């Protein structure tokens, strides 16, 4: 997907206006009074938000123009529903709205067919989640969503799982301090933890050359099948640090084994 092109949907992205805080505040006051021209100016002044969001989908095969148009719908919904009394910046509120609109579009156009009833359940859960976050500024639990829409937690989880697009284990989740974390780093291996490959290469011996924290990470990750996030929570460091220490520990262990 050519996100880097200058013109998207007839809009020259290199010449998009940038609004100051004062301009945004003034325009929003006019919007609340029903000024359509102010709304148009506010939309144009925030199109860079849409561009920043669709860049997250650069690895997909979707047309950039299509995603930009869908993102603009999300932006307009954000403008129409934003409450200045929330005490948050507009961009903080708008980005999840734009993302949600694009993800709904991708789900609806997914080549994997999902039944109408499952999609309806999933969309009800998504709308309930968005409304909850708008009111409470925090993520709801599955139990809270279940109570709100009157559907069992099991059915909600099943429906949400059904509409998800397939991802690669090597898809990046986020990058922190130069270390990229991938989907595979967040998946635990409960099934094979007893016969994990690390046991077959004399792990116990090779772990002797590690510091205590590195030993703990290797034990939790490869003996107990924990995810990096679970390890991070247990020992009190970030997931990125776990990833970095794990890589260093495995490198040290390989060197130890090769020396033997």
Q: What 3-state class would DSSP assign to 8? A: strand
Average pLDDT over residues 149-164: 81
Instruction: Name the one residue in this structure whose structure tokens are 């599955």.
Output: 142
Read off the pLDDT of residues 81-122 as tens digits, 9 standing for 90 and up.
887 776 778 888 888 888 888 888 877 666 555 667 877 888
* DSSP string for 167-219: --TT-EEEEETTEEEEGGGG----TTSTT-GGGGGTHHHHGGGS-HHHHHHHI
Mean pLDDT in the chain?
Answer: 76
Low-confidence winner among 92-101, 120-129, 203-212 (lowest mean pLDDT): 203-212
| Cα 237 to the center of its chain, rounded Å | 21
Per-residue pLDDT tens over the stretch 159-181: 877 766 555 454 555 554 555 55
In terms of pTM, does the model score above 0.85?
Answer: no
* pLDDT at residue number 150: 93
pLDDT of amino acid 180: 56
pLDDT band, residue 197 (cuts 50/70/90): very low
**CA nearest 75: which of 63, 89, 93?**
93
Instruction: Please state the rounded mean pLDDT for residues 43-53.
Output: 89
Are the C-beta atoms of residues 159 and 125 closer than 8 Å to each other? Answer: yes
CA 104 to chain centre: 14
The enclosing H or E element of 247 equals helix 239-259
Confidence of residue 193 (pLDDT cuts 50, 70, 90): very low
Q: What is the pLDDT of residue 15?
A: 77
pLDDT digits (tens, 9 = 90+) for 5-30: 566 766 777 778 888 888 888 988 89
Average pLDDT for 133-145: 85
Q: Express as a percent the part of the chain with pLDDT over 90.
A: 4
pLDDT average, residue stretch 55-79? 84
First to last CA, the chain: 49
């Amino acid at each position: 997907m050519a996100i880097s092109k200058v013109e998207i949907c007839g809009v020259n992205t290199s010449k998009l206006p940038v609004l100051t805080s004062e301009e945004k505040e003034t325009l929003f006051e006019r919007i609340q009074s029903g000024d359509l021209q102010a709304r148009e100016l506010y939309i144009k002044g925030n199109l860079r938000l849409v561009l920043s969001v669709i860049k997250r989908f650069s690895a997909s095969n979707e047309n950039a123009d299509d995603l930009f148009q869908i993102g603009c719908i999300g932006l307009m919904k954000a403008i129409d529903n934003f409450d200045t009394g929330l005490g948050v910046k507009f961009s903080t509120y708008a980005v999840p709205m734009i993302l949600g609109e694009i993800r709904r579009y991708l789900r609806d156009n997914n080549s994997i067919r999902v039944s109408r009833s499952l999609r309806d359940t999933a969309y009800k859960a998504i709308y309930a989640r968005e409304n909850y976050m708008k009111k409470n500024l925090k993520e709801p639990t599955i139990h809270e969503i279940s109570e709100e829409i009157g559907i069992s937690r099991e059915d909600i989880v099943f429906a949400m799982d059904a509409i998800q697009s397939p991802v690669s284990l090597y898809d990046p989740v986020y990058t922190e301090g130069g270390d990229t974390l991938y989907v595979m780093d967040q998946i635990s291996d409960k099934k094979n933890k007893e016969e994990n490959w690390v046991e077959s290469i004399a792990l116990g011996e090779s772990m002797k050359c590690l510091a205590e924290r590195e030993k703990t990470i290797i034990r939790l990750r490869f003996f107990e099948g924990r995810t990096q996030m679970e390890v991070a929570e247990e020992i009190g460091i970030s997931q990125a640090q776990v990833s970095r220490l794990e890589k260093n520990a495995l490198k040290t262990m390989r060197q130890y084994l090769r020396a033997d």
